[in-house]
Chains A and B, each alone.
Chain A
Amino acid sequence: MISEKLAGRHIAITGATGFLGTALVERLLRSVSDCHLVLVVRPGRRGAAQRVEREILRNNAFNSLRDRLGPDGFAEMAARRITPVAGDVTAEGLGLDDQGRAALTGCDLFIHSAAMVSFDSPLDQAVEVNLLGPVRIARTLADLNATPHLIAVSTCYVAGSRRGAAIEEPVDDSPFFVKAEWGAEVDAARRSRHEAEAASRTPEKLASFRSDARHYLGAAGIPALAAKTEQLRARWVNDRLAEAGRSRAASLGFPDAYAYTKAFGELALAETSGDIPVSIIRPSIIESALAEPAPGWIRGFRMAEPVIIAYARGLLKEFPGTPEGTLDVIPVDLVVASICAVAARGPIDGPDIIQVASGTVNPLRYGHLVDLVREWFTRHPVYDDRGQPIPVPEWSFPGRGRVTRQLERAGTTLERAQKIFELLPVRGRRAQLGARLEEQREQIERARGYVDLYGAYAECEAAFGLDRLLALWDSLNDDDREAFCFDPRIVDWGHYFHEIHLPSVVQSGRVSMSPPSQGGETRSSRLRRQVLSPDRHLAAFDLENTLIASNVVASFAWLASRRLDSRDRLRLVARTLAEAPALLALDRRDRSDFLRHFYRRYEGAPVDQIAEDSAEQFSDLILSRAFPAAIRRVREHRALGHRTLLITGALDFVVEPLRPLFDDIVCASLGIDDGTYNGRLRSVPPTGEARFQALTDYADHHDLDLRESVAYADSTSDLPMLEAVGFPVAVNPEVRLASLARKRGWLTEDFAKAGGMTNRLLPLAPARRGA
């Protein structure tokens, strides 16, 4: 009996926070009485015990166990049977402390299921985890003089990309294995990291990241720019290493870096395991549970899901593969059961390798899978954000090259369109069109990624031998077969996909599977409701293009022209228009430099006269260019009891008439000498990061929680302010902010000027008559 043989054992497990690991922990706790689990998890910020509690035990896999024991009973059982240990397979000695070492010393079974399963992870990280992880475990156990049965989870795809039988034999026994030293692979991977890091820090490269960051953010201030630049650099390094991983894997005949590092991990473990008895479990593609802990249970976004959902969304119109080909999928509970069976059986002499796959005994034909998916999504269509069902495309099984070319073409066209859009000075609805383009391009890019990564699997025609697995199955008695079923022949693929897997995929992918109910809430109105919840504390507003369609230049032109005769007015217009390109460029580079430079023009302006003229300007310029809906929104916030704040780089006398609209105004102001303005700013104008600072200072001073606050702004230069609050709102955003807002799920508002007002290029004041 499996459960009896495992009862009372001390079992160490790595990778318990993962998909397979969580299922394994659940099964052992539920089906094996009194075994004790030592869970080796990376401590992270919260520490191992917290992570076990939050990331493992709270998972819905434990629902039935929790129901059976009650919350208190469950907690008590977990405390009694689980020892969390902080450890990391990428650290020497697994990074264990004394307690951890002691806990491991007492274990007689060690299940290593930690892996870097992402198919496009950076080469060096994949090597550290997948290749060196098992080696470090073996060495650590040797240091502890412990010789537990080590069960290492690998993958069937260590066989490489090939056709025909792939049997349960050591990697290097295969005639197709290309010989290479695992030590050399490790060195090369580490070198790649150094090289990529060095390459990313050349002045040229850094300048290019900086320019990309500026392109992305606009004049958002230096700290924001620096953070973005560094983020772009790190991403570039990782992309290069992922690329390095893909090409090294391909050069050795593996579909990707995962299979490649796993294969060499097996080799390295064989060389370094010494006295430790090792069994290797090789599952194929692990998918949602057939029955346990619950039908359809899944954790994380697995390999096939993105593809399936991309298809259901109509993004992936074609996918490479042959209809006769086999997609080797195995439900997670079968893998867990086989691990338990191997553990109960114990180590054997000689290489012990067991493959858990379906392809040879119960093949899922690619054509069949496509039919199943198509049928299901035809019956249960996914709905787009406008509430329209998306028709699923016909699948024509083209070669990989054709699909990639198609996607590339579409991607390039969209990229060009998007670039053009970004150059256009568009806002609001049109800018959102631009954001849509960007989204589509990203979707294409993602689809291309799937094709690159998973195409190899769909095209893989290796048949994974299951002799040992089936022999093990045959050795079980009926009770064990009932309790620990791992026979891949029992899966009915039609039932599995239609009733179990696809419903689970769309649920965990949070795909919209029903049309919005009549009068139901759209995404915008839901976000708007959150923004206008009485729970909010503060609503901060930018001025230009958020409340009014105007800017400091227009404001100056109006005030300056107020007392000019017609000839001088013309001259002012000509001069301002001539300077416009330079001013615009300066504004794009640095907003506060621009304001400083521009506001010098007010030098010598009499304070009284400006105050009088500003009152007129309020009607003629500000209100006539205001967005009525934006003003209404400020008032709605006030009516809800939120504090309202205007934060703007505009000058105090310009915004003074807006004071009754807000609780407070933070704005720029000029110094005064002898009743005239001296053209110098009294303090740093609240733009970019200074605006963020002003906002946080204000919130601190009034004891308001920014996470419960709303900010309205129109441009990426306002990002620091928008990111500072819990509920950012992009108002008439330009393309870049529109796409950011879309991606981050921010509310986007189109506030328009009142219909029927004329646009003036440069607003001049109506000439004053009389004295």
Chain B
Amino acid sequence: MTNGRHPAPRPGFVLDVDRNTPPILFHHGPGFRLEKLPAGRSRVIYPAEPLEGLPDPEAAIRHALLNPLGDSAPLPALLRPGMKLTIAFDDISLPLPPMRRPDIRQRVIEAVLDLAADAGVDDVHLIAALAIHRRMTEDELRHAVGDRVYDAFAPKGLLYNLDAEDPDGMVILGETPHGEDVHFCRRAAESDLVVYVNINLVSMDGGHKSTATGLAGYTGLRHHHNVHTLRNSKSLMDRKNSALHASNWRMGSVIRDAGVKIFQIETTVNNDTFGREGPLALLQKREWEWTGRDRAQFLAMRTGLDVLPSNTRRKIFDTWQAPYQMTSVQAGEVEAVHEVTTDNVYAQQLVPVEGQTDVLTMGLPYICPYNVNSIMNPILVMCLGLGYFFNLYRGRPLVREGGVLVMSHPTPWEFHPVHHPSYIDFFEQVLADTTDPVEIERRYEKQFAEDEWYIHLYRTSYAYHGVHPFYMWYWGSHALEHLGRVIIVGGDPAAVRRLGFQPASTLSDALEMASDVVGPQPTITHMKNPPLLMADVT
């Protein structure tokens, strides 16, 4: 363990760029760029250094299960022989990148199963709460829950992926006062207790969204995964100002009122994404603190990556597992738990920023929630930049209304044919027609969502649901409405144009193009992310 060996972690901060500021490292898919930002009008937001992890995660978990928050009995008191217990857990989209073994889910699930065994519970199902994400493979499930749990449950069919298109496996629990159907996993609905195991990587995760979204299918999701709701989620990372979360909270009430007892377990991790040591350590160092060795290592890495074909580069990055450490675990009643969790996420990620900027720049990394062990296709590039990173704010967006977003990513015209079949058609057919989210939703969503072939692939292969690319697009709809222009640096021009964005070959070209929209000498803010940060903009 490394606990206690590190100096106190420094908080995140905003650097004003002057002439002495070294070039800043930008993520650029499976690669990097060093960019010199204009002095005098640029600033860089740095994330906080990783907080210390809990010294004894197992003890902390056990403590949380026995000392629940809010209106909830301790877990052992909820367990009895003959009961139906369902343990649902976050899928492959969390955390990012996947963490080193043992995964937090494994630790928590093992603790829960120990208590269940002690209580004589023998009807237990474990469900990957993937909603309409792709099914997890055997390897991925093993990684998440550990071999011991997998071998004990999977061969008997008691550990499985949610199938939200199984007509017999899903129920409607009721309707919210807003007329939203609450679609829910039948096994969970019929259980005496549902234990949900979260890894809350960002403030969007958890709360009622865990079950109301994670255990639902298209029938339920369409009520909050739509353009109207997401344009009114400002931002979707800020629960109290998010229409998306409001809808999930309403659904949470319906689930509770339907008699479904949920025992929520939420965990947070620090942002030790790339390791304090090792080949990627310099990705979380501040540039002016790079040693000569760091510089040499960076050059060697970049040169090495440059000569590799994109497949190989992707495979190298796919093998990276983050040395995340758990910084908190809390359990009990959903809302009480989630309040504490959110504070813990903020403690690691929130960086105060004064004022908005004309141009926001970001380097997009190789991974987003939907391309773990897969390809980051152009639609996912859009979603990561406009859906996730843009929304990592509290208060006001980092960039002013009508401002410009400049993202750096190779954006290749590449798709994973197994994982993203409907994305391919979305890109070739829908985006070729229009990029307007409202039009897309109105004219194409239903057709893709109800397509039998996509449903077949979602259920039997490893495909995201037919409607998933639409949600990616909606995720960015708040940003699309807010921004005056989006420019992608170093992307495949054809793919970038298909997204409705403008391609630029260098950052200075992009800034030049941006000045057409925001005027000359614009202010520039670079969001140096990941490791994850969330801007608290005043």
Contact = CB atoms under 8 A, between A and B. Distances in A.
Interface in B292-318: 310-311, 314
A628 B155 contact: no
Given A632-B428, A769-B138, A623 B155 contact: no
Interface stretch (A33-41, A211-219, A321-329, A750-758): A750-758
Contacts of B412: 755-756
Contacts of B414: 754-756
Nearest to A758: B311
Interface string A8-46: 000000000000000000000000000000000000000
B138 A628 contact: no
B415 to A, nearest CB: 5
A615 B460 contact: yes
Interface in A737-755: 753-755
Interface of B: 138-139, 142, 147, 150-151, 154-155, 310-311, 314, 375, 412-418, 421, 424-425, 428-429, 451-453, 456-457, 460-462
Nearest to B376: A756
B453 A635 contact: yes
Contact of B416 (A615, A756, A771): A756
Contact of B311 (A628, A756, A768, A769): A756
B138 A624 contact: no
A755 to B, nearest CB: 4
Contact of B155 (A615, A620, A755, A771): A771
Closest 5 interchain pairs by CB? A756-B414, A755-B414, A754-B417, A628-B424, A619-B461
Contacts of B416: 754, 756-757
Most buried by B among A623, A661, A755, A766: A755
A554 interface: no
Interface residues of A, number: 27
Contacts of A615: 460
A631 interface: yes
Most buried by B among A625, A626, A660: A660
Contacts of B462: 619
Contacts, number: 73
Given A628-B424, A629-B428, A632-B428, A657 B417 contact: no
A581 interface: no
A769 B428 contact: no
A770 interface: yes
Contacts of B413: 755
A756 B314 CA distance: 9
Contacts of B139: 766, 769
Nearest to A621: B418
Nearest to A657: B460
B109 to A, nearest CB: 18
Interface string A623-642: 11110110110010000000
Contact of B415 (A620, A625, A628, A771): A628
A167 to B, nearest CB: 72
Interface of A: 615, 618-620, 623-626, 628-629, 631-632, 635, 657, 660-661, 753-758, 766, 768-771
B417 A624 contact: yes
B453 A628 contact: no
Contacts of B457: 623
7 contacts: A619-B462, A632-B425, A753-B417, A754-B424, A755-B413, A757-B311, A770-B155
B220 to A, nearest CB: 24
A47 B58 CA distance: 97
Contacts of A635: 451, 453
A754 to B, nearest CB: 4
Contacts of A758: 311
Nearest to B427: A628
A653 to B, nearest CB: 14
A628 B419 CA distance: 12
A754 B415 contact: yes
A30 B147 CA distance: 97
Contacts of A766: 139
B142 A769 contact: yes
Nearest to A623: B418
Given A756-B311, A756-B375, A758-B311, A623 B417 contact: yes
Contact of A631 (B138, B311, B421, B461): B421
A631 B457 CA distance: 12
B533 to A, nearest CB: 30
A769 B142 CA distance: 10
A635 B416 CA distance: 19
A768 B375 CA distance: 23
Nearest to B421: A628
A495 B147 CA distance: 91
A295 B456 CA distance: 65
Contacts of A757: 311, 416-417
Nearest to A769: B138
Most buried by B among A623, A625, A661, A753: A623
A768 B428 CA distance: 35
Contacts of B154: 770
Contacts of B155: 770-771
Contact of B460 (A618, A629, A755): A618
Contacts of B150: 770
Given A756-B412, A771-B155, A628 B460 contact: no
B69 to A, nearest CB: 37
Nearest to B311: A758
A756 B412 CA distance: 8
B461 A618 contact: yes
A756 B428 contact: no
Nearest to B451: A635
A766 B142 CA distance: 15
A753 to B, nearest CB: 7
Given A632-B428, A657-B461, A769-B138, 11 more contacts: A620-B418, A624-B418, A628-B421, A635-B453, A660-B453, A660-B456, A754-B375, A755-B413, A755-B414, A756-B375, A770-B138
A486 to B, nearest CB: 63
Given A618-B461, A770-B151, A756 B425 contact: no
Contacts of B451: 635
Contact of B461 (A623, A628, A756): A623
Contacts of B421: 623, 628, 631
